[in-house]
Amino acid sequence: MPSPLTARLRDILQLRFTAHFTSLPESFLNKISPTNPLRRLLKVLGYAGLRLVGNVFQPIHNPEQLRGAVWLYVVSQNNYEALRFIREARPDSVLLAGQGKEIGRYNPDVNRLSLRRKLLYYWQLPVVLAGLMKVEGQVAARFFDLIFNAIGYYEVYVRAVRHYRPRAIVFANDHNDDSRALLLAARTCGVPTAYVQHASVSVSFPPLSFDLSLLEGQDALDKYRQCGPVQGRVELVGMPKADAFLGEKNQSPTVRRVGLAVNTLDDTDAISALATYLLRKFPTLTFTFRPHPGDTRDFAFLQRQHPELLFSDARQQHVFNFLQAQDALIAADTSTHLEATLLNLVSIYYRLGTHQVAYDYYGYVARGLVDEAASPEQLGELLRRYQQHKPADHYRRAAYYNATLGTPDEGRSQQKALALLDEWLANTAKTQK
């Protein structure tokens, strides 16, 4: 049996040891964890020197009171947007993230938890690495830099939770290392935890283990049941972040505007080839290109090659505002397919690259949420068909993913989620007295 320290780090890093993650193309993994061991070591030293030592000298002045508040913990811009409705409804809640965490355009708007003391725990690396190598083999050595990054989160967050004694902690992410560390810290300190699903989930995620989980629909619950035993209370509430947009579904009977959404796994050459093909074959359609907010590649070359191609900045424009300006979406593995279908866009699954990893990662093709095109020719045929006619009730394909779709609660997911959170918080307050 692994030591408690090793088991805890294995839990925190659960996603990094899944078959899905380890089988990703090396070109993609290299961006997360360098293939070259020397470069991994340099990354570790750089992280320790710049980020951790920098944290020591960076003052934290939180504008809001963290003590006794309901914490809304975010790790990304999308997380912030998923939990913002709780902050707006509950004066006793605060949005917060780890020190130095990148939250996009919302960086100035979140409180921060100090990570200065993380430096005190890196002596654990040889012990944890040896323990994980016994459990996971060479995979642990391959990702020793990710192990290094995760060390200390739990201990620092236990200290923060004991100091501030939050009333409860609400998460929108259940698999990032810092999120999982805070979840374990809350459990150690007896602080109630809740989870609000912010995007489609995968069977590679950790088992659901919050006191209260507010999921979007049956799809998420079925997938979490495949991840392992489901703990705590679970309620299906629909998609709170979509409430304001569900009453404005796309009514166009044909496709005239098409969004191209790409993620960091998509191949640059394949993206360029697709854009060239579509703009040549469909000169009467308007195409808008939207990279993932975490994609650091420079796509200015596309604008130079195709001046008629429009661009959407995911760091500045909300995904639903982007989708409102489209009639159809073309993308590979992204939960934007679901959001597009909810707004009655036709959405087409098209892989951008030759790798075979993560095919239909969210199961959208298998469930019939989206159409699939395996070649440019098939993609062209689908677009031509939808140029002639787009179904008015296409959005109904998303009912399996959104529990409120087509019900009296459609567009009221925020109210439903808030009522359940209010009830849960009231009950936890009674039990803690």
- Residue 43, pLDDT score: 87
Which residues, listed in sequence order, are joined to residue 72 by a DSSP beta bridge? 95, 170
Residue type, 190: G
> What is the structure's pLDDT at 356?
62
3-state DSSP assignment of residue 349: strand
Residue 119 has pLDDT above 90, yes or no: no
Answering whether pTM is above 0.85, one says: yes
In 3D space, the residue among 209, 211, 208 whose CA is nearest the CA of residue 227 turns out to be 208
- pLDDT band of 355, cuts 50, 70, 90: low
What's the CA gap between 433 and 425, in Å, rounded? 13
Quote the CA–CA distance of 72 and 87 in Å, as a whole number: 8
Mean pLDDT is highest, among 106-110, 158-162, 316-320, for 158-162
Paired tokens of 329: 């979406």
Q: Residue 417 CB: number of other CB atoms within 10 A?
A: 22
Lowest mean pLDDT among 26-30, 64-68, 83-87, 273-277: 26-30
**Cα atoms in the Cβ-side hemisphere of radius 13 Å centred on 364:** 29
pLDDT band at 75 (very low <50, low <70, confident <90, very high): very high
Percent of the chain with pLDDT over 90: 82
Task: Please give the pLDDT value at position 55.
Answer: 73
For 156-183, write each residue's pLDDT tens digit: 999 999 999 999 999 999 999 999 999 9
Q: What domains does the chain contain, in order, with CATH numbers? A: 4-239 (3.40.50.11720), 245-400 (3.40.50.2000)
* DSSP labels, 141-161: HHTHHHHHHHTTHHHHHHHHH
For residue 260, give the DSSP letter. E
pLDDT at 1: 74
Percent of the chain with pLDDT over 70: 98
What pLDDT was estimated at residue 385? 97
**What's the confidence (pLDDT) of residue 53?**
67
CA dist 382 and 374 (Å) reads 11
Backbone dihedral angles phi then psi of residue 291, each to the nearest 5 degrees: -75, 160
341, 397 Cβ separation under 8 angstroms: yes
* Of 54 and 404, more confident: 404
For residue range 12-59, list pLDDT tens digits in order. Answer: 999 999 988 888 888 888 889 999 999 999 888 887 776 666 777 777
Question: Would the pLDDT of 296 be above 70?
Answer: yes
pLDDT band at residue 376, thresholds of 50, 70 and 90? very high
Distance from C-alpha of 418 to C-alpha of 433, rounded to nearest angstrom = 23
Do residues 296 and 315 lie in contact, with contact meaning Cβ atoms separated by under 8 Å?
Answer: no
Query: How many CA atoms lie within 13 Å of 150's alpha carbon, on the beta-carbon side?
Result: 29
Tell me which of 247-251, 355-359, 393-397 is least confident.
355-359
Residues contacting 374, CB < 8 A, separation 6+: 351
Q: Is a pLDDT exceeding 90 seen at residue 264?
A: no
| For residues 129-140, average pLDDT | 94
**pLDDT on residue 305:** 94
Instruction: Give yes or no for residue 220 having a pLDDT over 80.
Output: yes
> To the nearest whole number, what is the mean pLDDT of the chain?
93
Number of neighbouring beta carbons within 10 Å of residue 80? 23
